Chains A and B, each alone.
Chain A
């Protein structure tokens, strides 16, 4: 419960930080929105609509009060409610994050366990090298290269867009590679760490085979930190969506934020980042909850 309560000041802090930053922008946002050809009356009208003519503290409290009722304002470009636009995009971002996490877990956990059980073998070195390569590859570069190979040269997959299952393949693989590399690294470290624990020594002295020890005793314990890392990474993945969705013209939240930034649509920037933070907090909270379920030793304070 404490964790939930602490979220409120944190999110309010973030929104305040955003509010201050946006007010620091040089230039008149109303004039920017109206465009170069706008008349003085048009600019005044926009100022009126957005409440930019009111004193700062009034703007701040109005914005905060609206937040509590989930009224995030309207887009300065399209006049549609920010919340509506964000919610329309949200499922697409989540779908991509889920598909890539699923792929990464399916590949990364077995590879990590495998590398740990054959520590210092040639295959272990190969897996470790793969994991450092995976973490170091810039996603935007990998994405562009995959588009060049699979869409432009081989005509196997769509270069971007959304709709069919085929559209999922390239973006999913792009995101999953980084995540797989990360999971391999964590899983390996965690399994090796657990292998040195006392209960393993006990199990060995009982004459259990290494196989039984690994699958029955070690994995259960070793995978607990892995779950936390996957949860935390799922959150960062949402941040990386900004890039992946740009590469593949994916109509998600990340793309929405970048478009809003390029259009100087500040209500949209503010609103979508707020929802993003809310989502991120929720993911971290769920991770904590899962952690307490799989590991009864930990109880939330």
Chain B
């Protein structure tokens, strides 16, 4: 882990991305102390004010401080991103490894289920799920996780099929080592480097999906300061108050860019080994 981070930090862009992420994580953890105002309480007498010294990012349609909302939004965005990716990856990898390891009926059944999830583009699957199940933080996380599952199933299944035929795995099976042990001790550690690059990239995708839902008005509902939801509601006022859409969008971009840059580099490092 530490050698990987050291290798990552050699590129200036990647280092910058790591610093951006760290600062957003810091914001998320200490939002209550950093944010100058409440993210929820409104003051209609100062609605849609452009950036000023008191409100560096301006105020929104209800007079809330946009800077404070962006800071608190980091908490929501990162929670959704990590939770959705973790659930999606965990479910997908478990199913994929089992499917690749046992083959036969297990494989056929899981692959047909995966086909169903892949019958729609990922984002549309998430849209469909929240549209029907209602939108709150839990359903947003579930829907994004659901849309990520099939790619992990396919990927870890493919990798498991390769690793399964490696000599020491075959030897372990010949010796009668218990299957669970083979999967957890030999297969998963072997396929995890490739999966880590994918997971890092997906942390960004998860944010784009979750805030995309917010933008469409079917993500985390207001008054929560989710960045996509802020963009969706701010859109109504953007013709005379463009600051309403500039800052939340910039936040989404910076975080997603950082995850993509780091994920890309991890992929390159792994490929070169």
Contacts and interface: CB of A to CB of B under 8 A. Distances in A.
Contacts of A6: 115
Contacts of A276: 120, 124
Contacts of A17: 116
B180 interface: no
Contacts of B238: 144, 147-148
Category for how many chain A residues contact B: 35 or more
Contacts of B212: 138-140, 243
A281 B231 CA distance: 32
B257 A11 contact: no
A258 interface: yes
A138 B119 contact: no
A21 B245 contact: no
Contacts of A137: 253
Contacts of A25: 132-134
A277 B264 CA distance: 30
A136 B201 CA distance: 10
Interface stretch (A33-41, A88-96, A115-123, A234-242): A234-242
Q: Looking at chain B's contact residues, is the secondary structure mostly helix, strand, loop, or mixed?
A: helix
Interface of B: 13, 112-113, 115-116, 119-124, 127-129, 131-134, 204, 208, 211-212, 215-218, 228, 231-232, 235, 238-239, 242, 245-246, 249-250, 252-253, 256-257, 260-261, 264
B119 A13 contact: yes
B127 A257 contact: yes
A242 B124 contact: yes
Contact of A280 (B113, B121, B129, B242): B121
A240 B250 CA distance: 20
A135 B204 CA distance: 10
Nearest 3 A/B pairs, CB to CB: A239-B121, A141-B249, A13-B116
B228 A280 contact: no
B131 A269 contact: yes
Chain B CB within 10 Å, residue with most, of A13, A140, A257: A140
A239 B256 CA distance: 19
Contacts of A18: 128, 132
Given A10-B115, A14-B119, A148-B242, A273 B133 contact: no
Contacts, number: 127
A21 B129 contact: yes
A239 B260 contact: no
Contact of A10 (B119, B122, B256): B119
Given A140-B212, A141-B245, 7 more contacts: A6-B115, A13-B115, A26-B134, A132-B261, A138-B211, A238-B124, A257-B127
A24 B121 CA distance: 23
Contact of B249 (A135, A145, A257): A145
Given A25-B132, A144-B231, A276-B120, A138 B252 contact: yes
A255 B239 CA distance: 22
Interface in A122-155: 129, 132-133, 135-141, 144-145, 147-148, 152
A9 interface: yes
A138 B208 contact: yes
Interface string A253-280: 0000110011000000100010011001
Nearest to A16: B116
Contacts of A24: 132-133
A144 B208 CA distance: 15
14 contacts: A10-B112, A14-B116, A21-B128, A21-B129, A132-B261, A138-B211, A138-B212, A138-B252, A140-B215, A147-B238, A148-B239, A242-B123, A273-B120, A280-B121
A269 B132 CA distance: 9
A138 to B, nearest CB: 5
A246 interface: yes
A100 to B, nearest CB: 15
Contacts of B252: 138, 141
A258 B112 contact: no
B133 A21 contact: yes
A261 B131 contact: yes
A17 B114 CA distance: 12
Given A22-B132, A141-B249, A273-B128, A281 B122 contact: no
Nearest to A27: B134
A243 B216 contact: yes
A178 to B, nearest CB: 10
B253 A11 contact: no
